[in-house]
Amino acid sequence: MPHYASPELATTFLEQPLDNPLMNAAGVWCTLAAQLDALVESSAGAAVTKSCTLSRRDGNPEPRYRALPLGSINSMGLPNEGHVYYLDYAACHDYERKPLFVSVSGLSLDDNLTIVAALREAVLPAFLELNLSCPNVEGKPQPGYDFEAMDQFLAEVATAYRRPFGVKLPPYFDFVHFDNAAEILNRYDNLAFITCINSIGNGLVIDTESESTVIRPKDGFGGLGGDYVLPTALANVNAFHRRCPGKTIIGCGGVSTGEHVFQHLLAGATLVQVGTALHEEGPSIFDRLQKELRELMAKKGYTRIEDFRGRLKTL
């Protein structure tokens, strides 16, 4: 019986080699150094820190997360250890082992510029992911839904940072919004990557037995993740892959199987982030996802990711 080599999962991101395209989503398994260390020790191809604010935040009151049959709802409220904590971690990270992304989500433009300047001056090989899409901080709208504000925001950051960086976007639901957002993103040459998507904001889950919401913050309104968001995530990945050919796309949303990873890659993603499923299963999930992805690729006759990445067929 002939022997066939296992499909190769190695890829590159902004010319940097990775063992595979998998990583955590900012916010999951990455708040503390011990959690980040677990990601580094795992088989994930890369890791990203918790979205950080200028100073430490406790986030919203508990309960603020609930696992659901098809995913999760959360209103975490950006709990994090403050930007200095994550910059210190990034300064000690072994970049030969795997890439590290630093996620930044300041509560104002000035806060973001302060954090971005600190990361620039640290001269680290970490990738900056600018979070324009947290739906769970009361009184703070998502910059990604205000196109004029987003354009101003990106103009300031692109000028201040002067290095390649990326943005994490909220989900969009209309072709006009895809077009408007892409037009803005394409204006900035050093905006190198786009992460699609953050959670679908302000869902409401009701427990029939108790006749109550299931999380406390914002009267029970929170961001949806998991299977609930997969079709929306794939739509956003493909929409920006088509509209921003000079940008690299990171897919995020609804990933719990190797088939989901395959779908994100087929839609145009180069890397794929895992959120809700990682929260529920832990870093060992990356072993399972790679196994399932290899099995699917072998079944389809693909030997490497570039054989199919971004080649979604339409009817």
The answer to whether the CB of 52 falls within 8 A of the CB of 85 is yes
Q: Which two structure tokens, joined as six digits, stand for 311? A: 């080649």
Q: Which two structure tokens, joined as six digits, stand for 60? A: 């919203």
The answer to whether the CB of 52 falls within 8 A of the CB of 105 is yes
> What DSSP character marks residue 145?
G
The DSSP line for 272-288 is EEE-HHHHHH-TTHHHH
At 220, which amino acid appears?
Answer: G
Give dist(CA 183, CA 133) in Å, integer. 18
134 is catalytic: yes
Given the residues 30, 52, 134, 252, the one annotated as active site: 134
Q: Which residues are catalytic?
A: 134
